[in-house]
Structure 1
Amino acid sequence: MTDQMQWAHAISTRPSLEAAVNEVVESATSSLKKSADLGLVFISSAFASEYSRLLPLLAEKLSVPVLIGCSGGGIIGTNNFGKAEELESTPALSLTLAHLPGVYLETFHLTDDELPDLDSSPDAWIDLIGVPASPTPHFLLFSASFSSGANNLLQGLDFAYPKSVTLGGQASGSGFDSKIALFCNDRLYRDGVLGVALSGNIILETIVAQGCRPIGKPLQVTKSDRNVIFELDQQIPLGVLRDLVASLSETEKTLAQNWLFVGVAMDEFKQELQPGDFLIRSILGVDPTAGAIAIGDRIRPGQRLQFHVRDAQTSAEDLELLLQRYQNEHNPQQGAVAALMFSCIGRGTGLYGKPNFDSSLFQEYFQNIPLSGFFCGGEIGPVGGSTFLHAYTSVFGICRQA
């Protein structure tokens, strides 16, 4: 009988870091019953003053070749009853151990000044990461901040590893100036991007729930410069938007005033656009004089976009639609052994008014699949075949043996 991939998850809410470490290590190691090849650790910002103690405490109790993780404003983990919990604003520690036969692991830590420029060849990125393009690696990334370098890294990985899946998130804290931490083996980092490449006998699939729904109709960008739109369907964008808002119901008008976004169509040729076909971006501002609209990404003439709104119901419906679509295209139970969840700190209880919403909905479709992750300051996941940084998003990674 061939050796099978196994994952074990543990979570602790003990306020003592020593007690929390002891609890998760004991629980995860006893559940795994195999040698661990990979450890993922996520620690809540309630322990911010003790981040430097985490890795030494784990090293006393745990031996694993690759251990990687970060801090989060909230922690997501699976309890002893197999139920996922989203623990926000409370001390929490999550540990995942994975037995990964036939999987090759390589960690890396990069800062902005180490990255090749975007005109470099794929070989420059492959040399930097230290991982060949074949067998296809998949990447978990944890970032200290989302600088232009992080965006360039995602573009570089997509360029050099076109068949790879990349997901993860930005380490977060409990406030704007909170301390964050990235952990790799025996090292603690406060900057850059930390990653692990998983190559070989592993498949990583994603669900990226951006939590918005379209209003109005798709429009073509007919004049733009970098991230500023000057014409939509050869009309002044602000005028188009005002006409759209005037046509909405009172409920939707309120949403548009508070939670208005732009969805950029990722497939230039697809006629019938659906949820999941758009990359959601924030509206950064408007120029009342020129009638231009600035958005949180570059946009070029010829691209199509559609205005979107967001609220708790929309976010819930968006995730359920994507879960149903995944279920129709795959058998969620067939070979899936674990899942990772990287969710925006703007979701959770603050959005839904109750805890564990996204994780509970996910587990309705992926029964008995353990889940772990954290609440991010920004999320990493693919849309339309390219990898992006997101906001207000829940990114799920489903792990299975190849």
Structure 2
Amino acid sequence: MSLFPSGHATHPQWRMAASLVLAQLRAQMALPEYAHSPSLGLLYITDHYAPEAQDLLDFLSAELPEVTDWAGTVGVGVSANNAEYFDEPALSVLLCDLPAHHYRVFSGVAPLGLGFEPHTALVHADASTPDVAELIAEMAERTATGYLFGGLAASRQGTVQFAMGGDGNMRGQGAARGVFSGGLSGVAFAEDVALISRVTQGCLPVSKVHEVTAVDGHVLLELDGEPALGVLLRDLQVSLDLQGPQRSPALQKALEVVRSTLVGLSSPGQDSVDRSGHFGADVLVRHIIGLDPARQGIAVAHPLEVGLRLAFCQRHVQAARADLMRICAEIREELEPEMWPADLATPGAGGSAAVAPQPARRIAGAVYVSCSGRGGPHFGGPSAELQILRHALGDVPLAGFFAGGEIARQHLYGYTGVLTVFTTPA
């Protein structure tokens, strides 16, 4: 597997932006280390181009006849290596060098049929689809690993998804020509497609893990048998003196701390917080939407049940940067060999760059789906989020979008980033 060609551009006119991307793709496809005839294209556009989505797909597929399959969607922003385009007309493309029998493009018009065993899947979904979270969970059950990655389309002028296959499954079915609205679409991958995926929550726990012992719908009443509001205030080391002056500096500061606090929820028996002090991938971070002083309760933007594990957490620039760097480090560790070769483990062999262990695998391309509420401002500056990725992973081909919700495993997240890299033997 060669490196995946990638391109990105912004321009008020979609055809000019697409032409700039084509020039980048063709230049890379002429280089020896890049794929010369990739068959799968991932296309992400900002919502400025949503009305011209069909024309844009037709143009790219005509100019790149070797790319027989396309998938993608729309976001309020798109991402590329070292750059993000937020709230401006832009597109980002990644051409994947995968054998055609190792993947299948699917959509509501052409769902996955018999004869292909999905191992993992890239999924794009429309948030307005009824029971979208349940549909995502059902899709995860259809894969051998239960692992999905992707996100919800985000647009202010029409939600679109791209799904076009070169085996005849997509064309000729009604008016479908590769651009859809509603439901799920994406690419299912066979076991032969090696990839590594990680979720960054962008927040850090500020309390120990508690057990939920009493609830009323979305209202958390007790933690570890104690009134939930009291536990929250104790963990945050603040006091809400509601009997005192309503504009006192101490009360205002305490309210600010509470407003900046969220909850991380996980199933009974799961390790919510790992040894490094970060949340695990199965933790769902949800907002605190209100307090109930009369019952000493906390209202949470998620259905609650007794037995759940809960830790309070906070989101800020430092936490977001640290957690993003953490998942990049985990991916790099997986790319390294599990042990040193025997001839390099002898005394005196260490310390030389010439004999350092070489990665067993390398990154051929990457897809990054981040929340539309993140992006540069959340990380301290324009494109700062993507610059962290490049600094940690190197100059790897990358495409992605800023979503209305992120998909990882069978879960639908919010305010997270989902980084997936396709790997090949070094």
1:1-400 equivalences in 2 (<5 Å): 4-33=1-30, 34-63=36-65, 64-78=67-81, 84-101=82-99, 103-110=101-108, 129-130=112-113, 134=117, 136-145=118-127, 147=129, 149-173=131-155, 177-185=156-164, 186-224=177-215, 227-247=218-238, 253=254, 256-265=257-266, 268=269, 270=271, 273=274, 274-277=277-280, 278-331=283-336, 334-382=361-409, 387-400=410-423
Structure 2 gaps of 5+ residues are: 31-35, 165-176, 240-249, 337-358
Contact 2:215 2:305 (C-alpha < 8 Å) held by counterparts: yes
C-alpha deviation, 1:42, in angstroms: 0.9
Distance 1:241 1:388, change over 3 A: same
Distance 2:389 2:267 in 1: 25
C-alpha deviation, 1:147, in angstroms: 4.8
Give the % identical residues: 26
C-alpha deviation, 1:225, in angstroms: 5.0
Q: Deviations over 1:183-202 (max 9, x none)?
A: 22232222112121121421
Distance 2:130 2:211 in 1: 27
Larger radius of gyration: 2
Where 2:202 maps in the other structure, the secondary structure is coil
Letter of the structure 1 residue corresponding to residue 46 of structure 2: S
**Normalised TM-score (structure 1):** 0.83
C-alpha deviation, 1:281, in angstroms: 1.9
Contact 1:229 1:294 (C-alpha < 8 Å) held by counterparts: yes
Distance 1:320 1:146, change over 3 A: farther
**Normalised TM-score (structure 2):** 0.78
Q: Deviations over 1:301-356 (max 9, x none)?
A: 22221011111111111212232333344437822211111011111123133112
Distance 1:101 1:218 in 2: 45
Distance 1:287 1:131, change over 3 A: farther
Distance 1:394 1:41 in 2: 18
Distance 2:294 2:325 in 1: 41
Distance 1:195 1:259 in 2: 35
Where 1:35 maps in the other structure, the secondary structure is coil
Distance 2:72 2:273 in 1: 40
Distance 1:198 1:74 in 2: 26
Letter of the structure 2 residue corresponding to residue 19 of structure 1: M
Distance 1:329 1:61, change over 3 A: closer
Equivalent residue, structure 2, for 1:123? none
Distance 1:210 1:146, change over 3 A: farther
Distance 1:275 1:217 in 2: 12
List, as ranges, runs of 4+ consecutive aligned residues in structure 1 with deviation greater than 6 Å: none
Distance 1:298 1:165 in 2: 23
C-alpha deviation, 1:210, in angstroms: 0.8
Q: Deviations over 1:152-193 (max 9, x none)?
A: 1222233332414311111112xxx43221122232222112
Contact 1:101 1:201 (C-alpha < 8 Å) held by counterparts: no
Letter of the structure 1 residue corresponding to residue 379 of structure 2: Y
Distance 1:11 1:142 in 2: 20
Distance 2:115 2:261 in 1: 42
Where 1:172 maps in the other structure, the secondary structure is coil
Distance 1:215 1:77 in 2: 33
Equivalent residue, structure 1, for 2:348? none
How many residues of Structure 1 are paired with residues of Structure 2 in the alignment?
370
Contact 2:70 2:163 (C-alpha < 8 Å) held by counterparts: yes
Q: Deviations over 1:77-107 (max 9, x none)?
A: 24xxxxx211112221111112213652222
Structure 1 gaps of 5+ residues are: 79-83, 112-126
Letter of the structure 1 residue corresponding to residue 201 of structure 2: Q
Distance 1:27 1:146, change over 3 A: same
Where 1:110 maps in the other structure, the secondary structure is coil
Where 1:213 maps in the other structure, the secondary structure is strand
Equivalent residue, structure 2, for 1:117? none
